[in-house]
Amino acid sequence: MSNDKLIQATSSPSIASCDYYVNVKNFGALGDGIKDDTLAIKNAIDSISIGTIFFPPGTYVVKPLKSNDLQAITMKSNLRILGSGVGITTLKFANSARNNCAVVGIFGGNNVTISSLTIDGNKQRTSSKYDIIGEGIEFNGGTKRFWITDVHIKNTLGEGIDIDQSYDGSINNIVIEDCQGNGLHISTYDPNSERINVSNITIRNCAHGRKSVSTRTAAVVLRGGHLNITNINISDSDRGFHIDGEGMIYLKPIKIVNANVENTTRQAVFMRESAPVTYFTNSSFDGGSDSYSVRAYSEIHFDHCNFSKASVIPACVSIEANATHSSFNHCSFKGGSPSLSIRADGTKITHSTFLNFPKYSLYLREAKNLNITGNIMMANQVSHGVYFQKIDHSAFSLNNFNQATLFIIDSSFNHSNLITNNIFKKLDGTIDRSLNVYEHNFIGGFVQ
């Protein structure tokens, strides 16, 4: 389901489209993949205060010129770096480049653009492993109004793209792969900042090679809020999404549409307690090989999403106690034991389907004010449908249990709950009232 199609720029962009336009080859850059072109590129950048730095087809070898340089190519405000197309123009770290800096970027500044090229971090040059340094692109220190478009980033020691304390930007039509660090990292601290929009992103095989497996290790790390993400495919990475807001205040929501996460080592989605409210729509999550598919400690909402997990243990999705008022609407769950574990007050599960769960579809414990309505639980063998433990003031109604699922209620079940109009069926489709283990706790259950 990955989208590898990147828009190619024309090989010679219109000079008339900008007031100032310089070609790096006019300053001595060769783009032959051998000569160090860093100084020539720097001279081209220094020659204008506003405009476009154009890279004709070729591979441009770069490295930091000074020991304190944060990037090999340091941009400035009102500058556009434009290549001739993905796979046609490449910025590549030299074999002698030190490890702790980015290929290209800026600290502070306004109105910067990087487009139509490939960035190669050349991680093969060293056996070292780094946490977050050694990025492909780095916008840091309050950079405002930035655009990253039609770019392929690969082989970085650190993160593919690092957006830290920077705002009002757009990241579009990007492939990030084979990065030791996180694929995409975005941190926003200013509650009054403009939204960052991310779209059409593919991230593969990232975040496996960090020095230590920290909590912030994932294909996509989001810290802070006010983000829109649309059409993102993640595969073969340590985690899919890591979301938190530690140390931040007044966080605005994150909205993610059309996400596909598969074949992660750990969670497809992990949310810490400090995370902003996050909304996923029309998304699919194939769970970690040795962990949950989704584990959330903060409020999260899923609409028309699919969850699956090949292994039985642990749960496919786990909503922990601090993730109050979370919701699942028109979702599909497959696998895990249980498929969905809920410990958060006020959770809503509506019009969703649970398939092929080996034991429980829902495991509800130590929570109140739950609303579980209009769901279908369909097992491929005799299985427990729902397990209650210390549940109060909750509603469970109009749910359909198929293929002889059992309804188990813990002895601590509270009579403040309303359980009504649920249907239990045998394998042949007939209603079976005997599956109501504690019928005295029901009001009008098993109505056709």
* Residues 159-211: tens digit of each pLDDT: 999 998 888 899 999 999 999 999 999 988 666 666 899 999 999 999 886 55
- Rounded (5°) CA angle 300-305-308: 100
Q: Which two tokens stand for residue 393?
A: 């003031």
Question: Is beta strand 227-235 parallel, antiparallel or unpaired with respect to 400-402?
Answer: unpaired
User: pTM of the entire structure?
Assistant: 0.89
* Residues 204-242: tens digit of each pLDDT: 999 886 555 556 889 999 988 789 999 999 999 989 999
Measure Cα distances from 99 to 94, 130, 283 in Å.
10, 8, 36
pLDDT at 446: 37
Is 7 a member of any domain?
Answer: no
* Residues 240-276: tens digit of each pLDDT: 999 998 766 667 899 999 999 999 988 999 999 989 9
DSSP state of 240: S
* Residues 13-29: tens digit of each pLDDT: 433 344 688 999 999 99
Range of the domain at 312: 15-441
pLDDT at 245: 84
Is 9 a member of any domain?
Answer: no
Is 404 a member of any domain?
Answer: yes
- Reply yes or no on whether the pLDDT at 136 is more than 60: yes
- Reply yes or no on whether the pLDDT at 56 is more than 90: yes
**Cis link prior to 56 (omega < 30° from 0)?**
no
Is 299 a member of any domain?
Answer: yes
- Rounded (5°) CA angle 408-414-418: 80
Is 2 a member of any domain?
Answer: no
Domain CATH for 278 = 2.160.20.10
CA dihedral in degrees (307, 256, 176, 295; nearest 10)? Answer: -40
Is 331 a member of any domain?
Answer: yes
Q: How many CA atoms lie within 13 A of 88 on its CB side?
A: 19
Q: Which two tokens stand for residue 112?
A: 């910067």
Q: In the chain, count of helices (H) and strands (E)?
A: 1, 40
Taking a C-beta distance cutoff of 8 angstroms, is the pair 285, 294 a contact? yes
Provide, rounded to the nearest whole percent, the portion of the chain with pLDDT above 90: 54
- At 288, the pLDDT band (50, 70, 90 cuts) reads low
- Number of domains within the chain: 1
Going by C-alpha positions, the residue among 329, 396, 393, 340 that lies closest to residue 363 is 340
Taking a C-beta distance cutoff of 8 angstroms, is the pair 244, 272 a contact? yes
Is 1 a member of any domain?
Answer: no
Is 448 a member of any domain?
Answer: no
- At 34, the pLDDT band (50, 70, 90 cuts) reads very high
